C-alpha cells in the first residue's frame, strides 16, 4: 500500500535520480517499503503513528548521503529482524544476502 509517507520517500528518491543522475532502484525500494509495512504491521510509535514510519524517515535521511539502493533498503528494513517475525533468510531471498547481512548488523 502506498501511503503519504511511502510516496514521499519514493518521490524524494526519484528526484535524487533525476537531479544527480543516480540509479536508485525504486521498484526494489518500494518492495522494501511493502515488507516494512507488512512485518511491522500494527506496531505503533509512542506518538500513535504506525511504526514503519520510523524506518522510512531513516531511509529518507540516508538518501541524502547515499545513492546506493542497498543502503536505502537496509535503512528501511533495519528494525525488522529485532522487532518482527521477518527472518534474515527471507531478506536474503527477497533482497540478496548482502542486504540481509547489513540489516543484521544495523
pLDDT for the residue numbered 56:
93
Q: Which of 57, 83, 94, 101 is catalytic?
A: 83
CB of 73 closer than 8 Å to CB of 29: yes
70: annotated active-site residue:
no
Which pLDDT band, with edges at 50, 70 and 90, does 3 fall under? confident
pLDDT single digits (tens) 34-55: 999 999 999 999 999 899 999 9
Residue ranges making up the domain that contains 83 = 4-105
pTM: 0.92
Q: Report how many domains make up the chain.
A: 1
Q: Does residue 1 register a pLDDT over 70?
A: no
Give me the CATH number covering residue 33.
1.10.3210.10
Q: Which of 3, 7, 15, 82 is catalytic?
A: 82
83: annotated active-site residue:
yes
Helix and strand numbers, DSSP H then E, in the chain: 7, 0
pLDDT for the residue numbered 14:
92
Amino acid at each position: 500500500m502506498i501511503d503519504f509517507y511511502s510516496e514521499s520517500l519514493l518521490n524524494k528518491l526519484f528526484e535524487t535520480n533525476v537531479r544527480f543522475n543516480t540509479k536508485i532502484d525504486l521498484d526494489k525500494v518500494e518492495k522494501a517499503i511493502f515488507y516494512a509495512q507488512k512485518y511491522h504491521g500494527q506496531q505503533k510509535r509512542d506518538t500513535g503513528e504506525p511504526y514503519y514510519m520510523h524506518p522510512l524517515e531513516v531511509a529518507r535521511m540516508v538518501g541524502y548521503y547515499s545513492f546506493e539502493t542497498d543502503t536505502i533498503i537496509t535503512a528501511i528494513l533495519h528494525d525488522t529482524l529485532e522487532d518482527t517475525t521477518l527472518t534474515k533468510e527471507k531478506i536474503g531471498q527477497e533482497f540478496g544476502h548482502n542486504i540481509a547481512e547489513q540489516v543484521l548488523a544495523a
